[in-house]
Amino acid sequence: MHAPRHELSPELRLGLAGVSAIGVSFGFARYGYGLFLPEIRREFALPIDLLGVIGSATYVGYVIALVLVGVLAARVGPRPLIVTAGLSAAVGMALVAFAPNAAVLVVGLVLAGTSSGWVWAPYSDAVPRVVPAARRERMLAVLPTGTAFGTVAAGALTLVATGPGWRYAWAFFAAVAVLVTVHNARLLPGGANPAGPEPDARARFFRRAAVPLFLTALSYGLIGSVYWTFAAELVATGPTAAALLWTLIGSAGIGGLAAGAVIERLGLRWTHALLFSMLAAAVLALGAAPGSFAAAGLSAVLYGPAFMAVSGLLAVWSYQIFPEHPATGFSAVVLFLGIGTIIGPAALGVVADGVGLPTTFLVTAGLALLTLPIRPASAAEPVRSR
């Protein structure tokens, strides 16, 4: 007789698939640029102001993908969008791995960067189809922690893929992206959103109740893009230092798994204040003491869980405001996040060229503090169709 098979529940399978896909798209395809920046900069002889422009360019495709997700999510369902994310990541990272010059490198980075635009919002449609209502918000808060797991894996790989070995790391990333994409294609629900296409997206999504959410997403995108693009430059006395920083950020970021429980206990408003205070302190630590291992360690253990948890905060906040069309609503939120990611590296890269990276990080910490008054209402009221 064969032992009985204990299959995972559909809810757990969806959670694992989502965490892995987000880990590939964000931990590898999007943030891998900052992780391997010292090696890439040396090999292609790139000046620091150009690094910021490239960092912003990697987010242009991301924003284009977000716009398309907003248009298509309610019509085609989550599966084709997430498969597109995986293919973009795989092909883009393969181009980076084998880039013969800077032009091919940038094309690969931009294509890989689109994957994070395709991948995140569609899970806001997949979750309500699979997860019971009582556990949906917690699941939405858990999925973004895939970034933490991806960052840990990328950071650990960097410890052995030194020098020209960074290319082998990106080839490995591309292979993992293929496997994760095949798994998601087999698992995810297909078909249009049962609620139907959105009849008036402009009137529904760009309204006063969502303004604090959009502004918070904008700030979060700007702060995060500056940190991920330039943090390694402030600690990199060698490739090992940057790899350890990334690994520590990712390891600490796994604490973001508790985001759902924290939101349930503190509410959106106090969670928002706590997380942006932690982000400000993390960025300040690097800017105030560049080259200090103690400051880098403090920054990592603050930044990792805060950054991952803010992703969950935005997902839950958006779901409360846009319950009927969650993927379309969340794509609008992530669009503002994307605008912040485009502005951040290019604008602050120019600032860094003039006053240096440490001062630039102090300015970025100030922006995080300015986000504190832009917070959710004491009780977020869902926006219903009229």
pLDDT in tens, 6-21: 567 777 888 889 999 9
User: Which stretch of 112-126, 234-248, 281-295 has the lowest confidence by average pLDDT?
Assistant: 234-248
> CA separation (Å) from 106 to 27, 33, 89?
18, 10, 14
pLDDT reported for residue 91? 96
Q: How many CA atoms lie within 13 A of 349 on its CB side?
A: 23
pLDDT reported for residue 199? 45
- pLDDT greater than 50 at residue 381: no
Q: Tell me the average pLDDT across 323-335.
A: 80
Task: Tell me the C-alpha distance between 34 and 100, whole Å.
Answer: 20
Most confident segment among 93-102, 187-196, 369-378: 93-102
Question: pLDDT of 41-76, one tens digit each?
Answer: 888 887 776 776 776 677 777 778 888 887 887 788
Q: Tell me the average pLDDT across 318-336.
A: 82
Question: pLDDT of 149-176, one tens digit each?
Answer: 888 888 788 777 777 888 999 999 999 9
* Rg, the chain, Cα only: 20
Token representation of residue 190: 């297909």
Most confident segment among 29-38, 269-278, 307-316, 331-340: 269-278
pLDDT, averaged across the chain: 82
In the block, residue with structure tokens 């969008």: 81
Question: pLDDT of 195-215, one tens digit each?
Answer: 555 544 444 556 677 889 999
Most confident segment among 32-46, 103-117, 195-209, 255-269: 103-117
- pLDDT greater than 90 at residue 302: yes
Residue 144, H or E segment: none
DSSP 70-121: HHHHHHH-HHHHHHHHHHHHHHHHHHHHT-SSHHHHHHHHHHHHHHHHHHST
User: Which stretch of 9-23, 34-48, 289-303, 369-383 has the lowest confidence by average pLDDT?
Assistant: 369-383
- CB neighbourhood size of 152 (10 A): 22
**Domain spanning 11-370, CATH architecture:** Up-down Bundle (1.20)
Per DSSP, 5 falls in state P
- pLDDT greater than 90 at residue 177: yes
Determine contact, residues 272/326, Cβ cutoff 8 Å: no
328 pLDDT band (50/70/90 cuts)?
confident
Q: Where are the domains of the chain?
A: 11-370
- pLDDT greater than 80 at residue 362: yes
Please, is 44 exposed, middle or buried when counting C-beta atoms within 10 Å of its C-beta (0-12, 13-18, 19+)? Answer: middle
- pLDDT greater than 70 at residue 37: yes
Task: Tell me the C-alpha distance between 286 and 279, whole Å.
Answer: 11
* Nearest residue to 147 via CA among 40, 30, 313, 57: 30
pTM beyond 0.85: no
pLDDT reported for residue 282? 95
Residue 305 or 334, more confident: 305
pLDDT reported for residue 202? 46
Task: Tell me the C-alpha distance between 109 and 52, whole Å.
Answer: 13
In the chain, % of residues over pLDDT 90 = 26
Q: Tell me the average pLDDT across 351-364.
A: 84
pLDDT reported for residue 235? 79
122 three-state secondary structure = coil
pLDDT reported for residue 203? 42
